[in-house]
Amino acid sequence: LSNAHNPSMAIMSSCSAQSSIKFAIIAFSIFSVTSFVFFVESSMIGITSPATCHDYNTPEWSRGKLTNTPIHGRLSLANLPTPIHKCPVNIGYSKKVNTLFIKRDDMTAGVELGGNKIRKLEFLLADALQKRHDCVVTIGGEQSNHCRATATAARMVGLEPHLILRVRRDKVEDNVKLGYTGNLLFDRMVGAMIHTCTPGEYGRFGSHALLETVCCKLRSKGKNPYPIPVGGSNAIGSWGYIEAVNELKEQLEVAQQDIDHIVFACGSGGTAAGITIGELEV
């Protein structure tokens, strides 16, 4: 593992406001994505911090059956529920499919957080905050969506993000070659501390050992790191999609619609585990 790379990149907006100013908006655009920052008097509107942990009541069927429950609650980071869209079916493609629906989990958040990872991170980061960790460490590929979402969400809730990215050896030896494109740009923009390993090191030592190596270094510096596995896929993270199945069930009941198959992409397995457990019970 190389030393952490942390090029200084930041986009900052600042304003000096008199006490008489009640409301202000700052908008900035990055690659046609516009974000708004609102400044209001706390007494004007009830807004909670993204770092606020909310109680989470596990489904009744899970009580007494699942032991690794999210006792520290969850954060509210995603835009939920995500919509379900009915799509036309190309009969020439499959004569066995009568109706096709898409659960739009690409709409869980903006480009910096969107996708399935944020559902897991709501539980994982709540666990980290309640256990009083001050930083998170996770691992993934050079352009990992999970690492990008973790870095951004961690900053939102006041945790320092450390990313271990799997890259070619020449990029390990020369930080400049890592570049500033795609998810790496987002990683750098939120000030993630970037560590690197080669595919060979990843294969020889495994992701858990690499995570522990960085965590040990941080502990030696007085930090209290919270390790998050590849894809956020562990017992706590899987609750994101156990809960997503409950969300889906409620939407289908309102729409009075039945489905007989669920199809999804599978990578690190956390989404698959959550859907499978949730679907078996509901």
Query: What is the token pair recorded at 226?
Result: 């919270």
d(CA 14, CA 109): 25
**Whose CA is closest to 183, among 140, 215, 136, 245?**
140
Check if 144 is active-site.
Answer: yes
Give the gyration radius of the chain's Cα atoms: 21
d(CA 42, CA 259): 45
* 145-156 vs 182-189: helix crossing angle, rounded to 10: 20
Sign of CA dihedral 72, 123, 12, 189: positive
d(CA 135, CA 11): 22
- From the list 8, 16, 76, 144, the catalytic residue is 144
d(CA 119, CA 106): 11
Cβ count within 10 A of residue 221: 7
d(CA 214, CA 163): 9
Catalytic residue annotation: 144
